[in-house]
Amino acid sequence: MKPDTHWTLDDVPWDAFDPAKVEPDQLAIVKAAAMVEYNSADYVSYLQSVFRDDPGFMEAAAAWGLEERQHGQALGKWAALADPGFDFETRFAVFRAGFRPDVDATESIRGSRAGELVARCMVEVGTSSYYRALGDAAREPALKAICRYIAGDELRHYKLFYDHLKRFLEQDKIGTLQRLRLAMGRIMETEDDELAYAFYAANNQGEPYDRERNSRAYMRRAYQYYRDPHIEKALAMIFKACGLKPHSKLFQATSYGAKWLLAKRQRELAKMAA
């Protein structure tokens, strides 16, 4: 990965693509992830509306959106290589027709701009850990490289939103407890309609949409790749955004609990699929 410059699609080692190393579970969730990443324009519009009097943030949000869209392009191109019958633009149109986020608000749906930035940090925690976990598990060289590039972007995006969060904390007067509530609320939204419908739009064979079934199908495939280091890194980022000290006794206890809960969820999802 280039440490000081942003990557492009040409940096991906497409010539190294090895169809024999494509795993079906990874292909299914990559198709879904491509839908979500490519759909960044709606979120840019929302953020620019919420921060409409902050030109610096608006410019940063636009750049963020372009990078997110490129993630979708890279993942979509890889999925089409792995499955020549996958028509990314057609599937994305299905996704757009069936899922549109509520982005018409002119004020943050999190109650304050600092709250909005806490939520954005949580999104980047989730995506950076997801692509790190998927990249560590992937055997296919092009996918491994794409995940490495995207995980690096998502870490930078976390820092972007965290740096702006620090500007707004004093102004909006939200403390650690409120930040924790906002963070946990956003994390719980991971299993909402967006990912479920993205999985459906990317993978359905003509069957009607079933939110619960598609959510479970996505989560079963995605959760299986997480290991302890991914959880520990994500939790450290969550603690930092909430004003807590990573690697404290509270962190250690929370880390133990998070790993236990993830393992339990992995078992539950696997049992449902059996």
3-state secondary structure 160-217: HHHHHHHHHHHHHCCCHHHHHHHHHHHHHHHHCHHHHHHHHHHHCCCCCCCHHHHHHH
- What is the pLDDT, as a whole number, of residue 247? 83
**Which DSSP string corresponds to the chain?**
--SSS---GGGS-GGG--GGG--HHHHHHHHHHHHHHHTHHHHHHHHHHHTTT-HHHHHHHHHHHHHHHHHHHHHHHHHHHH-TT--HHHHHHHHHHH-------SS-TTSSHHHHHHHHHHHHHHHHHHHHHHHHH--SHHHHHHHHHHHHHHHHHHHHHHHHHHHHHHHHT--HHHHHHHHHHHHHGGGSHHHHHHHHHHH-SSPPP-HHHHHHHHHHHHHTT--HHHHHHHHHHHHHHTT--TTSHHHHHHHHHHHHHHHHHHHHHHHHH-
Q: What pLDDT, in 10s, does the model give residues 164-187?
A: 999 999 889 899 999 999 998 888
Burial readout 218-236 (b: 16 or more C-beta within 10 A, e: otherwise):
bbbbbbebbeeebbbbbbb
- What is the pLDDT, as a whole number, of residue 140? 98
Q: For residue 269, give both structure tokens.
A: 């999802």
Query: Measured between alpha carbons, how far is 191 from 271 in angstroms, rounded to an integer?
Result: 18
Q: What pLDDT, in 10s, does the model give residues 141-170?
A: 999 999 999 999 999 999 999 999 999 998
Nearest C-alpha neighbor of 139 from the set 10, 18, 11: 18
- What is the pLDDT, as a whole number, of residue 274? 66
Q: Measuring CA to CA, how many Å separate 57 from each of 51, 172, 174, 266?
A: 7, 16, 20, 38
Nearest C-alpha neighbor of 16 from the set 83, 87, 78: 78
pTM metric for this prediction: 0.93
**Residue segments in the chain with a per-residue pLDDT below the cut of 50:** 1-4
